[in-house]
Amino acid sequence: MLASDLPVPEPGAWRHAFMHGGIERSYMLHVPPRGVSHEPWPLVVMCHGAGGSAAMSETATRWSRKGAECGFLVAYPDATRPDATRPPTFLRNPQMWRTGSGAGGMRDQVDDVAFIDALLDEIAAGYKVDLRRVYLCGFSNGASFALVAAAQLSKRIAAVAAVAGKLWHADLEMERALPLLYMTGEADPLNPIAGGPVDSPWGGAIEHPPLSILIDTWARLIGCESKAARRDAVEGVTIEHYGPGLGESEMVVYTVRGCGHVWPGGENVLAERITGPGTEVIDATGVIWDFFAGHRLP
């Protein structure tokens, strides 16, 4: 069936599932109201953090609200959990993405990147998707995963955004120079900018790489200097611009003063004793969408 022959979907948030790799994988898809845009729609795929879920991610980031306002689809995929027969919970049955950190990915045989690849096919088969405007983003463990997945799927992803995550693969490679927006808080206790040991909510300490690993690696991948070409400062936020790189790619790094392990401008769905303070000085969703809107596949 051609995309032009697909029926007009009902607006709202819908739960879907399909079998992949012998496992039932689920996701939530938000369809914007009729009349806010012309099809085909851009697609944003938002990956939740460790212990989170599609529903928590929608609440925390308010991507659905932005999709309804600007006219694009938003997919919220669920990662896997230790016991698929029980509902996910933050501490006792946490859903996590495989990132290479040693903490994510609850089954060795799960190929989360292949799942995202299949998810894009699944959505494009049922909805009128603008395949030149497919974007991937994530928070925390989902941000670390989004970096890996976007690199491996760089011919399908127009741009990627990562909030409060780390790059665990310094040897990452990609087929196409991929634009990146990265955002993190200076007061993040679970994702320190300088790296170092971090006590996990699930027990034990994990040695985190510094943010400089991500900057150096991504600059190499997109073909630009690892020193910022321009630095801007607005109230409570420092913005570093890298590039331009190959194919008009770029990297933009936002550092938010006084912000903890939260989605800036969103709703904190975890206790502040775990995440540190929230912030309203910047709306991460709006900033990321503006960045995404400036990039599309050739």
- Give the CA distances from residue 9 to residues 6, 12, 18, 42, in Å, rounded to whole numbers and listed in that order: 8, 9, 19, 15
How far apart are the C-alpha atoms of 192 and 164, rounded to whole Å?
Answer: 9
Residue 80 lies in a domain: yes
Domain that holds residue 276: 3-293
What's the whole-model pTM score? 0.93
Q: Identify the DSSP state of 32.
A: P
248 pLDDT band, cuts 50/70/90, is: confident
Q: What are phi and psi of 252, to 5 degrees?
A: -125, 130
Mean pLDDT, range 175-190, rounded to an integer:
96
CA dist 70 → 129, 133, 152, 249 (Å): 15, 14, 28, 23
Asked whether residue 169 carries a pLDDT value surpassing 90, the answer given is no
Q: What is the pLDDT of residue 99?
A: 81
Question: What's the structural domain count of the chain?
Answer: 1
CATH number at residue 203: 3.40.50.1820
298 is a domain residue: no
Residue 106 has pLDDT above 50, yes or no: no
Angstrom distance (rounded) from CA 131 to CA 157: 9
**Integer CA distances (angstroms), 29 to 17, 43, 225, in order:** 11, 10, 38
pLDDT grade for 2, boundaries at 50, 70 and 90: very low
CA gyration radius, the chain: 18
DSSP 266: S
Whether residue 225 contacts residue 246, with contact meaning beta carbons closer than 8 Å, is answered with no
Structure tokens at 49: 């953090």
Number of H helices, E strands in the chain: 7, 12
Alpha helices in 127-210 (DSSP H): 141-152
Cα–Cα dist 105/115, whole Å: 13
* Buried b or exposed e, range 86-107, using 16+ CB within 10 angstroms: eebebeebbbbbbbbbebbbbe
Average pLDDT (6-23) is 80
Q: What is the pLDDT confidence band of residue 171, given thresholds at 50, 70 and 90?
A: confident
Q: What is the mean pLDDT of residues 108-137?
A: 93
Q: Beta partners for 160?
A: 136, 180
Question: How far apart are alpha carbons 6 and 16 in whole angstroms?
Answer: 17
